[in-house]
């Protein structure tokens, strides 16, 4: 039951992320499951 709830919350979070045109740096980090420092290195 708890895993089902976690899955539903995860799916809702994905839908919210996908509905935005532009993600902030923090949102992109969470969405990609990458640390901020690693993401910064990829973009510099």
Q: What are the residues whose beta carbons fall under 8 Å from the beta carbon of 26, sequence distance 6 or more? A: 36
**Domain span holding position 18:** 2-43
* Predicted pLDDT of residue 41: 95
In whole angstroms, give the CA distance from residue 18 to residue 11: 11
Q: Count of domains in the chain?
A: 1
* Predicted pLDDT of residue 35: 96
* Predicted pLDDT of residue 18: 75
Interval 1-44: pLDDT, tens: 777 898 998 888 888 877 878 888 998 898 888 999 999 999 88
- Rg of the chain on CA atoms, in Å: 13
In whole angstroms, give the CA distance from residue 25 to residue 37: 11
């Amino acid at each position: 039951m708890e895993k089902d709830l976690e899955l539903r919350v995860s799916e809702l979070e994905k839908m919210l992320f996908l509905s935005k045109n532009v993600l902030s740096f923090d949102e992109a980090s969470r969405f990609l499951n990458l640390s901020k420092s690693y993401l910064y290195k990829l973009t510099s």
